Structure 1
Amino acid sequence: MCFGCKGLWLLSAACYFPHPEKELTGGEDAYFICPEKQVFGVADGVGGWAEVGVDSGEYARQLMSESLIAAREEPTGSVDAARVLKKAYSKTTCRGSSTACILALSDYGLQAVNLGDSGFIVVRNGRVIFKSPAQQHNFNFPFQLESCGAGDPVSAAELFVVEVAAEDVIIAGTDGLFDNLFATEIETIVLQAKWSGMSPDVTAQKIAYLARERANDSNGETPFSAAAQNAGYSFYGGKMDDITVIVSYVTDHHMG
C-alpha cells in the first residue's frame, strides 16, 4: 500500500538536547514521530512562563502527545496536518504556551502547518529549496498557542504544501536549531550524510551537535545574532536553548 505522495515514504529520526540549565526537568521542547502515518512534529514551550512557576515544557509535551493521537486517527495517505494541530490544541489543558510545526507526507505532497518560530527546510541535491518563514510579533517574540484560548489562534498558523521527491531531506526543528545554524551549514552536513550513507538518526545528531556548538560560541555570527543586530541589539554569538532536530529522508523504498 502506498503511504505517501506518489509511492514515497519518510524515514525519520530525531535528536534533542535540552538547555543545560533545564536538563533535570527535560527542557521545554517536545516532538513526535508517527511513521505509520508519515507524520512528525516539533513544539517549543515558551520559557517566560517560568517567571510565574509554570513549566511550558509540559504544555509542549502534551501538545505533541495529543498530536500523535490525532495523527493516528487520520486516514492513511491523506493526513491533514492543520486538522491534527487543531484537534491537539483543543485537547491540551496544561498551563503554558508553545510554538508548533507539524508535517505530513500525503498523496498531495509534503503538507505542513506552522505557528511560531519552529519550522522546517527541504534540501534537494545539497541545496535548500524551501524554508518555512518564522512567525514573530517582533524580535524574539514568536506566535504561540496558549492554554485557555489565550495567545494566538490556531487559525493563525501558516499552511504549506511542498512537492518533494525521492532523495530529498526534510529537517524540522525548534528555534534552538534555526537560531544557531545558517542554511549553508545544514546543507553541508546533509551533503556529507548523503555521500557517506549516514542514517537519519546520525544526521540529526550531527546537526544538533553543531547547533549546540554554535550556541556555546559567544563571538561567532549566527542567524540569531544577525537578527538581534538588525533589531538594534548589540548581541554576538549563539543563543543557548533547547535544540530539537528531526531529519526525514524521502525515499521510494518502503521501509516497513
Structure 2
Amino acid sequence: GRRRDFFANGSRLWSRLIVHFWAAEVERGASRGEEPTPIEYLQRAYEHTLEATTQPTEWQGTTTATGAQLHYENNDADGAEQPVLYVTNLGDSQVLVLRPRNSKVIFKTEAQWHWFDCPRQLGTNSPDTPKGMAVVTKVVVEVGDVVLAVSDGVTDNLWEHEVVSCVVGGMKEWEEGGKEVEARGKKKEKMQFVAEKLMNAARVIAQDPFAESPFMEHAIEEGLAMEGGKLDDISVVVGLIKKSEG
C-alpha cells in the first residue's frame, strides 16, 4: 500500500495550508498511478497557498516543509515489489528512517539554513521556493523500518543517538506491556505511544535551562553563549513500514 506523511513547521495558517494542498496533490498523482514527483506537488501546493493567502486579504506567514511518500518499484530479478520512500525536505524539520532491529539510522535529511537559527522556509517573507530549494531523496526501505518526521523542537533538544534509543526503547516497552504502557492504556497504538514518548523526552530537555543540547552546542560553535535546551514547538509524526493487509 501507499502511505503519505507530510509535515510543516511555521505560522499556523501557512503550515496547515501547505500540508493540505501538498497532500491533495500527492493523492491526485497516486490516483493516476504515476511515478511520484514530490517537488512538483509541493510547488503546486506552495502556489495554491500563496493564492489562498493573498486574495482577497493578504496573510503573512512562512513555514518549513518535510514529507515522506511510500511507493514501490519492481525488482527486475524476481519481479517482487521493493518499497521505497520519497523524502522531501525544505528547512530545518527532519525526516529520519530507523531500522530498529539493529538500532541504526539508515537515512536522515540535512537541515537547510540561511544562517544560524534561520531556516529556509516557504512563505510571503521568504525568497525560497520548492523548485529552487527543496531536496528529494529516494530511500530503499524494508518492512519494520520506522519513519520519523519531526520539528526542530526535537532535533534541537535531542541528539541522534537519544532519538534512536527513545524510539527503539519505546517500541520494546509497548510490546512488553511495561508499567508506563499500562498506565496510559495497553491498547494505545504502538506508533502513537512511541511518538508521545519522543515528544516528552524532547520537552524535558527544552524546559531544562541547564541541560546540554544540540542547540546549545551549535550556538557555541557560532560564538554565542547559550546554555540549556531550546523552548520551541515540538511536533512528531511516526510511521511503521509494513505490508498492506489483504
What TM-score do you get using the length of structure 2 for normalisation?
0.80
User: By how many angstroms is 1:151 displaced?
Assistant: 2.3
Greater relative contact order (Cα < 8 A, sep 6+):
1
Q: Which amino acid aligns with 1:80?
A: T
The corresponding residue for 1:239 is 230
User: Using the alignment, how far apart are the partners of 1:128 and 1:102 within structure 2?
Assistant: 17
The corresponding residue for 1:162 is 139
Contact residue 66 and residue 93 of structure 2 kept, 8 A: yes
Larger radius of gyration: 2
Q: 1:185 aligns with which of 152, 162, 166?
A: 162
User: By how many angstroms is 1:89 displaced?
Assistant: 0.6
Q: 1:143 aligns with which of 100, 115, 120?
A: 120
Identity %: 32
The corresponding residue for 2:9 is 44
Q: Which amino acid aligns with 2:39?
A: A
Q: What pairs up with 1:201-212 in 2 under 5 angstroms?
A: 201-212=192-203
Contact residue 80 and residue 104 of structure 1 kept, 8 A: no
Deviations 1:187-245 (A, max 9, x none): 11222233232611110010011111110011111111111111110111111111110
Q: What pairs up with 1:46-61 in 2 under 5 angstroms?
A: 56-61=11-16
Q: 2:47 aligns with which of 81, 90, 111?
A: 90
User: Using the alignment, how far apart are the partners of 2:143 and 2:236 within structure 1?
Assistant: 20
Pair 1:213-2:188 in alignment: no
Residue segments in structure 2 that go unaligned for 5+ positions in a row? 54-59, 74-83, 176-188
User: By how many angstroms is 1:255 displaced?
Assistant: 4.4
The corresponding residue for 1:10 is none
Q: Which amino acid aligns with 2:138?
A: V
Q: Which amino acid aligns with 2:44?
A: K
Contact residue 43 and residue 129 of structure 2 kept, 8 A: no
Deviations 1:172-194 (A, max 9, x none): 11111111111111111222233
What TM-score do you get using the length of structure 1 for normalisation?
0.77
The corresponding residue for 1:117 is 92
User: Using the alignment, how far apart are the partners of 1:88 and 1:133 within structure 2?
Assistant: 22
User: Using the alignment, how far apart are the partners of 1:191 and 1:102 within structure 2?
Assistant: 22
Secondary structure of 1:75's counterpart equals helix
The corresponding residue for 1:226 is 217
User: By how many angstroms is 1:79 displaced?
Assistant: 3.3
Secondary structure of 2:158's counterpart equals coil
User: Using the alignment, how far apart are the partners of 1:213 and 1:84 within structure 2?
Assistant: 36
In the alignment of these two chains, the number of paired residues is 209
User: Using the alignment, how far apart are the partners of 1:163 and 1:72 within structure 2?
Assistant: 21
User: Using the alignment, how far apart are the partners of 1:209 and 1:181 within structure 2?
Assistant: 11
Which of 125-134 and 72-81 deviates more?
72-81
Q: 1:68 aligns with which of 9, 16, 23?
A: 23
User: Using the alignment, how far apart are the partners of 1:187 and 1:231 within structure 2?
Assistant: 27
The corresponding residue for 1:9 is none
Deviations 1:8-35 (A, max 9, x none): xxxxxxxxxxxxxxxxxxxxxxxxxxxx
User: Using the alignment, how far apart are the partners of 2:89 and 2:231 within structure 1?
Assistant: 23
